[in-house]
Amino acid sequence: MKDEQRLLQAYDRQLRTDAETQNALSVTHLGPLHLATLDGGQGFVTYPHPDDFVATQIPHLVPRVLDYYRQSPIISQVEWKTRGHDRDFGLHQALVGNGFQPDNPESIMIGEAKMLDVRVPLPAGVALRCVTEEADIRAMTAMESLVFRRPQNDMVDALLRRLALGDGMQLWVAEADGEVISAGRLEPVAGTNFAGIWGGATLEAWRGRGIYRALTATRSRAALDLGKTLIYSESTEYSRPILERSGLVKVSTTTPYRWYR
């Protein structure tokens, strides 16, 4: 079995459905679908890797999913998570026909944590640290707002609530002269061999100098300390090449479809 196939099977077995909704306020089942209600008024739809028969049934459930979320006044948007290696028997058309719009596809990247645990030299004056205080988290999200060109203010309270849960999530930043210049999260997935690395962002002036790769290595080291042997991420085309150089392998793609009330 090729390494990509082995890692993809581990992804399907361990990271779909229950692993994705561990922090949900509630989860309802509709056939093979898991309909989660998340913090911040968000709905989230996921399901196990379907065989062909199940895949043909899923498009017919799209209107019923929207009926379910429309009945909840707290839901302002819904994300339906699709994967490139699932067979699509009209799901794209059903989603778009019911008001969902696709985001850009992202690469599902997976690798052995021990392969990423390397020493990466940092530019002079740059240091990494794990942060937990509100002021540091606000500085981190402000930097991410600049990089992603969208507000991140609503993330602060959500991250503080996550830290209060003590579920192992870690927030790492790179700083220079007291300014946050890069950041990323580590999220161990309970009951699996995986930890996810998320939210990777670096100010444009500091890119290409090994800082994001150093953050990746540091988070992988922290994952190993937590007993996690596999690292995964869903990466844009900006971060995918960096993660490939770090040792992660692209096993598939994921495309979120979003509906807004």
According to DSSP, the residues that pair with 43 across neighbouring strands are: 37, 78
- Judgement on whether residues 77 and 158 belong to the same structural domain of the protein: no
The count of domains in the chain is 2
Report, as an integer, the average pLDDT of 126-133.
Answer: 96
- Judgement on whether residues 122 and 240 belong to the same structural domain of the protein: yes
SS3 state at 72: coil
Name which residue leads in pLDDT, 115 or 260: 260
- Judgement on whether residues 146 and 211 belong to the same structural domain of the protein: yes
- Judgement on whether residues 115 and 217 belong to the same structural domain of the protein: yes
For 249, the domain range is: 111-253
CA 216 vs CA 44, 101, 151: distances in Å: 27, 31, 24
- Judgement on whether residues 176 and 245 belong to the same structural domain of the protein: yes
CB 197 within 8 A of CB 184: yes
Report the predicted TM-score, pTM, of the whole model to 2 decimal places.
Answer: 0.87
The chain-wide mean pLDDT, for the chain, equals 93
- Judgement on whether residues 129 and 156 belong to the same structural domain of the protein: yes
Name which residue leads in pLDDT, 233 or 242: 233
- Judgement on whether residues 121 and 165 belong to the same structural domain of the protein: yes
Smallest Cα–Cα separation from 103: which of 244, 230, 256, 260? 256
CB 197 within 8 A of CB 156: no
Question: What is the model's pLDDT at position 257?
Answer: 98
- Judgement on whether residues 161 and 81 belong to the same structural domain of the protein: no
Name which residue leads in pLDDT, 48 or 158: 48
- Judgement on whether residues 138 and 99 belong to the same structural domain of the protein: no
- Judgement on whether residues 79 and 153 belong to the same structural domain of the protein: no
CB 217 within 8 A of CB 246: yes
- Judgement on whether residues 87 and 188 belong to the same structural domain of the protein: no
Phi-psi label, residue 166: left if phi above 0, alpha if psi -120 to 50, beta otherwise: left
Domain harbouring 22, CATH code: 3.40.630
Tens of pLDDT, residues 148-195: 887 766 788 888 888 998 889 999 999 999 999 999 999 999 999 999
Which is it for strands 194-202 and 179-188: parallel, antiparallel or unpaired? antiparallel
Tens of pLDDT, residues 62-101: 999 999 999 999 999 999 999 999 999 999 999 999 999 9
- Judgement on whether residues 116 and 100 belong to the same structural domain of the protein: no
pLDDT above 70 covers a percentage of the chain that reads: 98
Domain harbouring 160, CATH code: 3.40.630.30
